[in-house]
Amino acid sequence: MNTAFSLTIAEKYRSPSQKIRIATEDWVKKQSYCPSCGCDISSYENNKPVADFYCLKCKEDYEILAKYFI
C-alpha cells in the first residue's frame, strides 16, 4: 500500500480544505479496500450526502473525513 498521496490532482482548487478532500478521496479510491470484507471499494458520485465509497459485495458505506492543518 502506498501511504503517500499526490496533491497535484487538486492543484486547480484554491481552498486548502477542497485540496485535501480531493487528494484523500483519490488516494482512498486507488489504495483502499473494504475493511469489512476485504474487497475493492467503489466511489459514489460527488456530493452524495450519506457516503463517499461503498462495497459492492457486503454493501457497507464509507465516508472519508479529512482536515487540512496549517
Residues above pLDDT 70, as percent of the chain? 96
| Calpha distance 63→68 (Å, rounded) | 17
On whether residue 37 sits in a domain, the answer given is: yes
In the predicted structure, residue 31 carries a pLDDT above the cut 80: yes
Contact 53, 24 (CB under 8 A): no
Highest mean pLDDT among 2-11, 19-28, 44-53: 19-28
The pair phi, psi for residue 10, each rounded to 5°, is -110, 15
On whether residue 4 sits in a domain, the answer given is: no
In the predicted structure, residue 42 carries a pLDDT above the cut 80: yes
Report the predicted TM-score, pTM, of the whole model to 2 decimal places.
Answer: 0.75
On whether residue 45 sits in a domain, the answer given is: yes
List the domain range (segments joined by +) for residue 46. 32-65
Instruction: Report how many domains make up the chain.
Output: 1
**Residue 1, pLDDT score:** 66
Query: Whose CA is closest to 21, among 58, 62, 64?
Result: 64
On whether residue 19 sits in a domain, the answer given is: no
